[in-house]
A and B are shown apart, each in its own frame.
Chain A
């Protein structure tokens, strides 16, 4: 039981990075990103390849953040004016594009077989491995949280919020809104990349089928539940979503009348229904 709680906490922490990233893009700046899993996957693979090549943990983490951030910047540059409808299509398309590349390009990262034997960080503290990993994840998440909080409070964050409110105003006061939008998008992608790095390190094995659209929907739901724009609320709602969805993995031992595939399918149906319900509640007439 305690192992389950630790595992769920680690997953919640990992998705916390991804959700914090989406919160900067969407919650703070108003840029929708339906394909956050793409940057999560890029980060995971970058970390896996770097760590397996013997790069130390911290450095591999930095590499995956940078690579994901670069991909984020590229997507931002290839989406004209980062308009809402184009962003929705391009980000979702990009996430599937990344998954297909990972699946088909065997030379890059093993194709469908994925990458195995990804190392975990060595810790001097004498904790059991799982608990130690949770400690590191929580520590890193705390740093990421402090940084995103700082961004929200800085004039930079103010400009991002202004873009969410009305981009034309930001232009009219002489600021290049496109540059701010690209930076916000890059930052959000980098955070997702760090989440991906922890994901790869925790599971020690990754393959393309782990990076389906459900991860993106996961964090969309989390940011949507939390007050958009607030890092704290985002983290709390991510933990909630993780408990609900990862928690159902616990049921596997008690429910015997459905098999693994069926249970996985049901969990995703629940996620879909949850997203629909949240959207209806959040956007029902009479609410802003």
Chain B
């Protein structure tokens, strides 16, 4: 009974983390830098959703529109700012993403203030499915994330866009020879990353509450997931999200909740130390 609550909670955490973690993974795979702006795309997406909800829009429509808007922001920033340092190695884009993190976080703070905001989601009576207690919202979250994950996976595997992404991440120079236009791939990847992260942020805000540190607070678990999944692998990231989610929920049996993030950081450093290429990627899962 108690265990099932933790399991549901772990599943929901995994669902939330998987979207931005995949974004980190995708950007690392294709553009070869860890992007610290991803958590802020989560925050931005959640606030935009709230604004759109204010126009008496249903929350799902507001969410989709906000995700698209965030994706466009990510795309625009990439094609203007990040593009100017494209061939200068890993460090410049990392520093840029750090600067961008600060800008987004504080623009949000400037506009909406430091306070906690709530999504207008009416509390509903939880279901009891075979002894597992789950709220309709949680069920909806799991369904949506699973659908999105499946769509991303299929798109990367079977569409020409997916082939271009995979080619660029394996060997950019070879990809150019085979007719892939790298800037298009980069732009598309950034749009996708922005939109997916926004999705994760919206869900996180619905489950908890919304403030300017929404995304920043999950920075460490996100990177733990992305690294555990083997940076660059989508399936790996999704599985790793499940693992880290389970680990951090189950840790509640023995550790106080304040250690959740500490545990994620421990996972992160241990994986780097033991198997820098990522556990799951190393086990054979591929994009």
Contact = CB atoms under 8 A, between A and B. Distances in A.
CB–CB under 8 A between A and B in the complex? Answer: yes
Interface of A: 32, 34, 78-80, 83-86, 88-90, 92-94, 96-97, 100-101, 104-105, 213-214, 217, 220, 224, 261-262, 264-266, 268-269, 271-276, 279-280, 282-285
Interface of B: 33-34, 36, 81, 84-85, 87-88, 90-92, 94-96, 98-103, 105-107, 109-110, 113-114, 216, 219-220, 223, 227, 258-259, 261-262, 265, 268-269, 272-273, 276
30 contacts: A32-B91, A32-B94, A78-B269, A78-B273, A79-B269, A80-B272, A85-B33, A93-B220, A96-B216, A96-B265, A104-B259, A105-B258, A213-B101, A220-B95, A261-B113, A261-B114, A262-B110, A268-B109, A272-B101, A275-B95, A275-B98, A276-B81, A276-B96, A276-B99, A276-B103, A279-B85, A279-B99, A280-B96, A283-B85, A284-B84
Contacts of B265: 93-94, 96-97
Main secondary structure on B side of the interface with A: helix
Nearest to B28: A85
B39 to A, nearest CB: 10
Contacts of B216: 96
Nearest to B88: A283
Given A275-B102, A279-B99, A89 B34 contact: yes
Contacts, number: 129
B272 A271 contact: no
Contacts of B33: 85
A115 to B, nearest CB: 18
Contacts of A261: 109, 113-114
Contacts of B90: 84-85, 88
Contact of A275 (B99, B113, B220, B268): B99
B81 A280 contact: yes
Contact of B36 (A79, A92, A105, A269): A92
A262 B103 CA distance: 13
Contact of A89 (B96, B227, B259): B227
